[in-house]
Structure 1
Amino acid sequence: MSTNTPDTSPEQRPAVRLVDIEPEQAGQRIDNFLITKLKGVPKSRIYRILRKGEVRVNKGRIKPEYRLKAGDQVRIPPIRMEEKPAVPTPPQAQIERLEAAILFEDKGLIIINKPSGLAVHGGSGLSFGLIEVLRASRPTAPYLELVHRLDRDTSGLLLVAKKRSYLRSLHEQLRGDGVRKHYRALLCGHWDRGKHHENAPLYKNTLSSGERIVRVDERGKTAHTLFKPISCFKAASYMEVELFTGRTHQIRVHAAHAGHPVAGDEKYGNQDCNRDLKRYGLKRLFLHAYRLEFTHPGSEQPMDVIAPLDNALGAVLDALEAGQR
């Protein structure tokens, strides 16, 4: 009688891996490094092999919080990983649309004028977000990570790092005051407050449905937004908005709190206003990340990048201007 035994030939057994850490990989924790390298392996197993000393750095045991240095050699023990299903590919038209939206690119940074309606990452029923589409268009790129985020319906400037060192530098600038974010927004109603600083704290809730809702609440985090009018019409006001903090839905909630919600906002907006502005051709949220000022992580030179409004939003402003005559 024959018995079936698993094939344990050397060709099929996982082998010890020795990985040399490059400068771009330095600074990350060993546990996060392993989670990236061992995709498909449960985190509980990764922490177990760390605790047991099966992972070594420079032949020595390390703790999960150890931060890798350039030149380190990491020993990864034999570990079998589950085969992952084939990843679906974004439509070619979507890839081409995103590539056409790139405003700047060098060896470490991509600046994109994100179209409205494109989420920055997949999830919640979306197969592809901007970062998945970008990775699909550059399958050999070793590193592509979002520096920050924009709401799905918000258009405009978005930074993507091609190097870990660039990501770290830009995150440090974002945490401090090294990045200035300027938006263009159309707000409902006639703005008569001039230059206005809004400092209401924002508190984030997640509903049972999974939807995120942000409210002005004293329990919330500090938030600071500056509103400055550019053109005021009968039905709405075209504004420059500067963010000094980066809270979820900050501009939309602060604008509504000030009594002038963002035009086209289905979550925090005024439905009567949204309906009226459709007569001027508005079909989406009128919120656009217009300008970014920061220091380039590689050259250390100041960057000042502008993404003009698209034709559809420009046409809405033209229609409002014509209605004034």
Structure 2
Amino acid sequence: MSTKSNNYQPSQVLTISADQAGQRIDNFLLNFLKGVPKTRIYKMLRKGEVRVNKGRIKPIYRIQADDAIRLPPLFMDEKPQKVSRSLDKVQQLEQRIIYESDRLIVLNKPAGMAVHGGSGESFGVIEALRSLRDDLHYVELVHRLDKLTSGCLMIAKKRSTLRYLHEQLRNRQLNKTYEAIVWGHWPKNVRQISEPLKTLRLANGDRRSVVDASGKASTTRFELLSHIGKDQSHIIAKPVTGRMHQIRVHCAWHENPICGDKKYLTDKQFLEKHQRLCLHAKAIAFRESADHEITKVECHSDSFNHYLNP
């Protein structure tokens, strides 16, 4: 007897809430129908198997509050979620939640964990959180952290919160503070670097940023905390803009590359001295909503702090 019957989902009608409104229907379905292949979802939309208020729609349709979405009968994917293979990591992630409200979560992301699956990653923080608790099925990333960077990562529970926090990002009202250990003695008087950054895609598909006059305006503010021994410095970095690898590239351009940075530090002798990228998102300050005061959340990383006392 086929095991598919255990994964059969009959036809259903969903009513869209005000918080779900505003997103494209293809994105909504990709998030809602986790066990259905992406190709099947787009085929359903293309052939009119998905109806909104009894009518056909295109994948770019933006759902509205009180829309009635009819889904056809479906067979869910029989394969277990890849995230279940790393159950220990998922459970450990819950212990890393350092701030939570009914609107959002801030967690202390470990270095080496991607924020989302894809590009060779079986799963990331967002997939892990969605599998953790029923109330986290629809969480979304507010911003990103590089896989190798640890620290404060903000995740929205509601689309209204996501939109509000994205507005703060656009208006530069959401403040992020990083700490880094760099090679060389950082000059105390270097408090800001404003060099335009351009993103390049290499032949192997890898992406990296470079300082280039034709790039986008990019500014990072810096503060020297201390010199570590003869050849390293502990610094604070506050990105004003949010370009890819911005802090890493500005430090490397200044000839003070971040310790352990395999992408922008080319001297193998220096790479061998650190087991991780010495960049940590130390704090984040934000408003949950217009009627909230500013909230500041801070966290530390033992693996980062290990290198402060060599």
* TM-score relative to the length of structure 1: 0.81
| Other-structure match for 2:97 | 102
| Other-structure match for 2:262 | 266
Judging changes above 3 Å, is the alpha-carbon distance between structure 1 residues 15 and 93 closer, same or farther for their aligned structure 2 residues? closer
Rounded Cα–Cα distance in structure 2 between residues aligned with 1:225 and 1:81: 49
Q: Percent identity?
A: 41
- 1:173-232: CA deviations, max 9, x gaps? 112212011100111111225143222121212223222222112232221111221112
Q: Is the 8 A contact 2:222 2:235 kept in 1?
A: yes
Structure 2 gap segments, 5+ residues each: 1-6
1:290-301 aligned at under 5 Å gives the runs 290-297=282-289, 300-301=292-293
Give the count of matched residue pairs.
Answer: 299
Judging changes above 3 Å, is the alpha-carbon distance between structure 1 residues 286 and 87 closer, same or farther for their aligned structure 2 residues? same
Residue 251 in 1 paired to residue 247 in 2? Answer: yes
| Other-structure match for 1:45 | 43
Rounded Cα–Cα distance in structure 2 between residues aligned with 1:140 and 1:18: 20
Rounded Cα–Cα distance in structure 1 between residues aligned with 2:290 and 2:102: 9
Say which SS state the counterpart of residue 132 (structure 1) adopts: helix
| Other-structure match for 2:81 | 87
Say which SS state the counterpart of residue 313 (structure 1) adopts: helix
Judging changes above 3 Å, is the alpha-carbon distance between structure 1 residues 117 and 70 closer, same or farther for their aligned structure 2 residues? same
Residue 313 in 1 paired to residue 304 in 2? Answer: yes
State the 1:41 CA deviation.
Answer: 5.2
* TM-score relative to the length of structure 2: 0.85
| Alignment match of 2:177 (pick from 178, 182, 197) | 182
Say which SS state the counterpart of residue 99 (structure 2) adopts: strand
Rounded Cα–Cα distance in structure 1 between residues aligned with 2:209 and 2:18: 39
CA-based RMSD of the aligned residues comes to: 2.7
| Other-structure match for 1:3 | none
Structure 1 gap segments, 5+ residues each: 1-11, 320-325
Higher relative contact order (CA 8 A, sep 6+): 2
Q: Is the 8 A contact 2:11 2:74 kept in 1?
A: no
Rounded Cα–Cα distance in structure 1 between residues aligned with 2:119 and 2:27: 24
Residue 236 in 1 paired to residue 236 in 2? Answer: no
| Other-structure match for 1:25 | 20
Rounded Cα–Cα distance in structure 1 between residues aligned with 2:206 and 2:114: 15
Q: Is the 8 A contact 1:19 1:75 kept in 2?
A: yes
Q: Is the 8 A contact 1:263 1:273 kept in 2?
A: no
| Other-structure match for 2:222 | 227
Judging changes above 3 Å, is the alpha-carbon distance between structure 1 residues 102 and 14 closer, same or farther for their aligned structure 2 residues? closer
Residue 58 in 1 paired to residue 58 in 2? Answer: no
Q: Is the 8 A contact 1:261 1:270 kept in 2?
A: no
Say which SS state the counterpart of residue 24 (structure 1) adopts: coil
Q: Which amino acid aligns with 1:266?
A: K
Q: Which amino acid aligns with 2:242?
A: G
Q: Is the 8 A contact 2:218 2:242 kept in 1?
A: yes
